[in-house]
A = this chain, B = another copy of it.
Amino acid sequence: MSTAAPRTAGPDHLWSVDEHLDDILATVRPLEPIELNLLDAQGCVLVEDVTVPVSLPPFDNSSMDGYAVRVADVAGASEQYPAALDVVGDAAAGQAGLLHVGPGQAVRIMTGAPLPPGAETVVPVEWTDGGLGEGPVAGMRARSLAPEGATGQVYVYRPAPARAHVRAEGSDVKAGDRALAAGTVLGPPQISLLAAIGRGTVRVRPRPRVVVLSTGSELVQPGEELRPGQIYDSNSFALTAAARDAGAIAYRVGAVADDAATLRDTIEDQLVRADLMVTTGGVSVGAYDVVKEALSYAGDEDEPGSGVEFRKLAMQPGKPQGFGSIGPDHTPLLALPGNPVSSYVSFELFVRPAIRTLMGLEDVHRPRTRATLTADGALTSPKGRRQFLRGRYADGTVTPVGGAGSHLVAALAQADALIVVPEDAESVAPGTEVEVVLLG
């Protein structure tokens, strides 16, 4: 799990986007599974093959409201020559004790009720007079209003073959069948099946708890007053929302001032509730880049295998990045740059896959597609760096929004895609086919 070990790459190595991502994905491991209540497991990945313990349905039951009868008793029945049967009682779903249907008898049966012994088939109530003696009816009267409906005589106007309107025991799933395979993501239909076979709890990988903290003495909480030189903290809000969106339980920690000791204390304090830590800011080459300063400390000899490495990536935005693990549990930490657009793009490319890897998902990346660039002029891009421009994607075309500046958060809010300009391209003309990362 360590990323602190010296790398062959060396400290001056310019990391490619893929090298950095590969390092993260090779380091981060799916969380240990736990047993969760069914509804708490929504969106989680199942880690067990779930076997059906009892067949579904567990017993032959009626698929209609009607009468459970013997086939011979209704053979040849018609409106002109109805079959007259004695109603011996009601079979309602969930009722204990089964009535018996003898020759010439019928049990009034409700959808889902077990087929009574002796009965061979079900005639829907619409094929009968419902016991009222006035021709075919549209339905039964509520038992509470008309209790006599469970007795007396019923006229049946149509025959039914054996086992008509009967759902056979095990016709849905059979005991011993595999209901769901390990690796299945639990959405509503899977939760439906698990409940139906009686599973109140299920073994899954939990949602990762992600602690998000921003750093910077210039940061002020939105809603408060801005003094000269200050700006609002947006990264901790954006990344908390993005972490939730990726499937995590996200905790936002307010902005931490540029002081290494305070930052270290805050991180150590938060570790207890973190499966993943994400910081923004303080990772570049300045004299006040405290994330770098504070976290080089975390990799000392007291905690072997722990440490955060700071890198330069061949990427724009998002050149300075930190990755490693901290604390006694080697909790993975991603240190993102502080510019709002840089941190958001870095989140999408590196943190989201890390979160989804922790969840045990197969599919950890945003979908990508190819699109034709629509723009007023050629896009320019620095040679040797992979550029991610914000764009809007529609019907196979993508249009840039805003410029390349990493602080253009207003444009980011209009984007639904990232346009990928490869390392070797310095200019991309309109009409060129480009790679696009589809956001949300």
Residue numbers of A with Cβ under 8 A of B are 12, 38-39, 42, 52, 54, 56-59, 63, 65, 90, 92-96, 98, 108, 110-114, 125-126, 138-146, 149-150, 167, 171-173, 177, 179-180, 187-201, 216-224, 226-235, 237-242, 244-245, 252, 257-258, 260, 284-290, 292-293, 338-340, 344, 405-410, 412-413, 415, 439-440
Contact residues in B for A412 (Cβ distance below 8 Å): 189, 192-193
Pair B285/A409 contact, Cβ less than 8 Å: no
A38 in complex: contacting residue of B57, B142, B237, CB < 8 Å: B237
Known: A190-B413, A413-B190. A288 touches B195 (CB 8 A): no
Measured in the bound complex, the distance between the Cα atoms of B288 and A146 in whole Å is: 11
Pair B198/A232 contact, Cβ less than 8 Å: yes
Which has the most chain B C-beta neighbours within 10 Å: A150, A172, A192, A226?
A192
Contact residues in B for A177 (Cβ distance below 8 Å): 410
CB distance from A356 to the nearest CB of B (A): 15
10 smallest A-B Cβ distances: which pairs? A200-B223, A139-B285, A94-B218, A94-B217, A192-B238, A65-B286, A195-B234, A93-B218, A196-B234, A188-B242
Known: A195-B238, A199-B223, A223-B200. A144 touches B228 (CB 8 A): no
Residue of B nearest to A310 (CB): B139
Known: A42-B244, A223-B198, A226-B198. A171 touches B237 (CB 8 A): no
* A-B pairs with beta carbons under 8 Å apart, 8 shown: A58-B230, A65-B284, A126-B285, A139-B286, A149-B287, A171-B407, A172-B409, A173-B410
A409 in complex: contacting residue of B56, B219, B440, CB < 8 Å: B56
Measured in the bound complex, the distance between the Cα atoms of B172 and A408 in whole Å is: 5
Residue of B nearest to A108 (CB): B287
Contact residues in B for A139 (Cβ distance below 8 Å): 284-286
Residue of B nearest to A218 (CB): B94
Pair A413/B192 contact, Cβ less than 8 Å: yes
Which has the most chain B C-beta neighbours within 10 Å: A187, A257, A439?
A187
Measured in the bound complex, the distance between the Cα atoms of B66 and A169 in whole Å is: 77
Which has the most chain B C-beta neighbours within 10 Å: A150, A190, A234, A408?
A234
